[in-house]
């Protein structure tokens, strides 16, 4: 499933293991359970920490780092969405704005292309605005909004075709 989300298999396996584990695990346990090389585990754990979905936990009397994933599913998806936006959408919007600025207003083909890019920019800006509002909401409120989803569509007459 990890490949479909754009992360490598090892990262996905480690995240899945930590997600279903009742207790934080140290790197050696992860290596043993998943039969992975220590270097791959270390690299993947660092990257998962960079994404903000795995954190280090210390146990009294044990000098090893233990790792756990975010427990709240809504918080986990918010963290992933924020990071994907930062890594993917923000650079795309910047590149799009550069292309719009470089379009020649005296060239008819550029005029059409510029307008299409402006339409796309408007979509990205609207999506970003909505995303910023939702990403700042507490997880409990996001849960409530999502549970209201069908009712909102019905209320606004957005069901069916």
Domain assignment of residue 130, yes or no: yes
pLDDT in tens, 99-146: 999 988 888 888 999 999 999 999 999 999 999 998 898 888 888 888
* pTM, two decimal places: 0.78
pLDDT of 161 > 70? The answer is no
Q: Are residues 122 and 150 located together in one domain of the fold?
A: yes
Whether residues 34 and 77 fall in one domain: no
Q: How many CB atoms lie within 10 A of CB 106?
A: 6
Q: Verify that 77 and 149 share a domain, yes or no.
A: yes
Higher pLDDT, 140 or 95: 95
Higher-confidence residue of 31 and 7: namely 31
Domain presence at residue 161: no
- One domain for residues 78 and 152: yes
Q: d(Cα 7, Cα 39) in Å, to the nearest integer? A: 17
CB 45 within 8 A of CB 69: no
Q: Tell me, what DSSP letter sits at residue 156?
A: T
Tokens at residue 65, please?
A: 């780092």
109 shares a domain with 50: no
Q: Are residues 77 and 50 in the same domain?
A: no
**CATH number, domain containing residue 18:** 1.10.10.10
Q: Summarize the confidence of residues 9-24 as an average pLDDT.
A: 95
Look up the domain containing 45 and give its range.
Answer: 2-69
Q: Domain end: 17, 40, 69, which one?
A: 69
Confidence of residue 151 (pLDDT cuts 50, 70, 90): confident
Residue 50 has a pLDDT of 94
Q: Are residues 116 and 84 in the same domain?
A: yes
pLDDT at residue 2, rounded to an integer: 66
């Amino acid at each position: 499933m990890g490949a479909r989300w754009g992360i490598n298999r090892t990262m996905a396996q480690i995240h899945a293991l930590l997600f279903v584990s009742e207790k934080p695990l140290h790197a050696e346990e992860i290596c043993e359970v998943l039969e992975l090389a220590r270097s791959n585990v270390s690299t993947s754990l660092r990257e998962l920490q960079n994404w903000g979905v795995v954190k280090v936990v210390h146990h009294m009397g044990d000098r090893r780092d233990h790792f756990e994933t975010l427990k709240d599913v809504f918080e986990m998806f918010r963290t992933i969405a924020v990071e994907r936006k930062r890594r993917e959408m923000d650079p795309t919007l910047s590149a799009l704005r550069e292309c719009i600025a470089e379009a020649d207003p005296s060239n008819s083909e550029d005029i059409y292309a510029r307008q299409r890019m402006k339409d796309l920019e408007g979509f990205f800006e609207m999506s970003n605005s909505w995303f910023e509002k939702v990403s700042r909401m507490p997880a409990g409120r996001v849960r409530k909004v999502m549970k209201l989803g069908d009712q909102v569509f019905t209320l606004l007459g957005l069901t069916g075709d």
